[in-house]
Amino acid sequence: MKKGILLSLMSLFFVVSMSGQKYFTRDGKISFFSDTPLEKIEAHNSKATSVLDASNGNLEFAVLIKAFQFEKALMQEHFNENYMESSKFPKSSFKGKVTNIKDINLKKDGEYNATVKGQLTIHGVTKDVETTGKFVVAGGKISAKSAFNVAVADYNITIPAVVRDNIAKTVKIAVDIKFEELKQ
Amino acid sequence: MKKVILIGVLVLGAIGAITAYLVYNKPHKNMEKAAADIALEAETLFTAYKTDEQAADAQYLDKVVQVSGTVKGVSQEGGKTSVTLDSGDQMSGVVCELDELTKHPRTDFQVGEQVTFKGMCTGFLLDVVLVRCVEVQ
């Protein structure tokens, strides 16, 4: 009998500890940087969503292209209308995994290096990508950062000859996320 | 005669350069002055997106959309204020990110209060997302 109670208590603890395994945000920051000798361009989006399942490392991102904000209105217009065709392809997304999630303890303060692998979709084109990032857990708060490069041509984005020297062939994408625990 | 042509070319060149400069530096839309293309309730906007995202995109993307609703949550992230309006759905809402280029009379909103924003509709993720929002009194 005692054993039965103990077992059910244990399974209850197990369920409780398992339930806090999903993390999300709807205020994720994604920026990109195009750097050429002629022109530096950057744009920021602070409305990315992301879900991380710490039990298996599944990680997803989604971002609305039209929510990227540029310093110059003209660049934002070109970005949306000519390069990203954001009315046709309003979203970009990532679906993949933190491959070394077993080495990361999101319940414990510390810095953890992460390897991320998955499929990145931009401009309607999906490619396999792999990058590294960092999780920082401090005072129970979880943040994640990563930066990686994307070749514009890989995603069928054509840059007209006139501005070829103004826009980098490879743009840097920076991700900066503060995760919250998903209460179910 | 040659002098006149030279001056003409210089003037044309200057006009061209100024035009190019003005186009290059054209300002962002002034959201305070921008007229709303559509005005509706947050719940109506959300339902449109939940029912048929493509149709809703065709109707609302890139438009100045004015939404009214009840404040469900407020977040301050990296100096940016976002107000989530109740959509009738438990998980999702209509998120209005306040415009960075506008000086807002206030950025503190109380959960439960009735507000109206206008902003650029950018689409649907977990929520319908409006950016560059300003409060409409």
CATH of the domain at A40: 2.40.128.110
Q: For residues B63 and B66, give the distance between their C-alpha atoms in angstroms, rounded to a whole number.
A: 9
Residue B36 pLDDT more than 50? Answer: yes
What are chain B's domains?
A: 38-135 (2.40.50.140)
Q: What angle do CA A62, B44, B49 make, to 5 degrees?
A: 30
pLDDT for the residue A7: 57
Which residues in chain A are contacts of B132 at CB distance < 8 A?
69
User: CB A74 to CB B26 under 8 A?
Assistant: yes
Contact A112, A101 (CB under 8 A): no
Which residues in chain B are contacts of A90 at CB distance < 8 A?
57, 61, 122-123
Instruction: Count structural domains, chain A.
Output: 1
As given in the structure block, the two tokens for residue B123 are 């689409």
Give the gap in angstroms from C-alpha A112 to the nearest C-alpha of chain B: 23
pLDDT higher for B112 or A7? B112
Question: Which residue from A48, A30, A66 is spatially nearest to B119, judged by alpha carbons?
Answer: A66
Q: What count of residues does chain B have?
A: 137
Q: A119 lies in which domain range? A: 22-181
For residue B75, the chain A residue with the least C-alpha distance is: A27
Give the pLDDT band of residue A10 (cuts 50, 70, 90): low
pLDDT higher for B79 or B53? B53
- Choose the mutation target among B19, B52, B129, B132 for the interface with A, i.e. most A CBs under 10 Å: B129
Buried b (16+ CB within 10 A) or exposed e, A132-158: ebebebeeeebebebbeebebeebebe
Give the pLDDT band of residue A3 (cuts 50, 70, 90): low
Helix B42-51 vs helix B53-60: crossing angle, to nearest 10:
130
Residue A172 domain flag: yes
pLDDT for the residue A157: 94
Residue A121 domain flag: yes
Give the gap in angstroms from C-alpha A27 to the nearest C-alpha of chain B: 7
Residue B100 pLDDT more than 60? Answer: yes
Question: 3-state class of A93 per DSSP?
Answer: strand
Beta bridge partners of A47: none
pLDDT for the residue A16: 47
pLDDT for the residue A57: 95
Residue A139 domain flag: yes
A95 touches chain B (CB under 8 A): no
Average pLDDT over residues B107-118: 95
Chain-centroid distance, C-alpha A179: 11
Residue A3 domain flag: no
As given in the structure block, the two tokens for residue B43 are 């719940």
Q: For residues A118 and A59, give the distance between their C-alpha atoms in angstroms, rounded to a whole number.
A: 9
Residue at token pair 């599944």: A58
Q: Which ipTM did the prediction report?
A: 0.88
Chain A / chain B CB contacts < 8 angstroms: 68
Average pLDDT over residues A90-109: 95
How many CB atoms neighbour CB B38 within 10 A?
15
Contact A55, A47 (CB under 8 A): no
Which residues in chain B are contacts of A64 at CB distance < 8 A?
122-125, 129
Q: For residues A179 and A142, give the distance between their C-alpha atoms in angstroms, rounded to a whole number.
A: 5
Which residues in chain A are contacts of B126 at CB distance < 8 A?
26, 49
Percent with pLDDT over 70 in chain A: 89
pLDDT higher for A164 or A131? A131
Q: Which residues contact A176 (CB under 8 A, 6 or more apart)?
A: A28, A29, A30, A31, A143, A144, A145
What are the backbone dihedrals phi and psi of residue A8, each rounded to the nearest 5 degrees, phi first? -70, -35
Query: What DSSP letter does each residue of chain B carry, written as one string?
Result: -HHHHHHHHHHHHHHHHHHHHHHHTPPPP-TTTPPPSEEEEHHHHHHHHHH-HHHHHHHHTTSEEEEEEEEEEEEEETTEEEEEEE-S-SS-EEEEEEPSSS--S-----TT-EEEEEEEEEEESSSEEEEEEEE--
User: CB B131 to CB A69 under 8 A?
Assistant: yes
Question: Which residue from A6, A48, A21, A2 is spatially nearest to A145, judged by alpha carbons?
Answer: A48
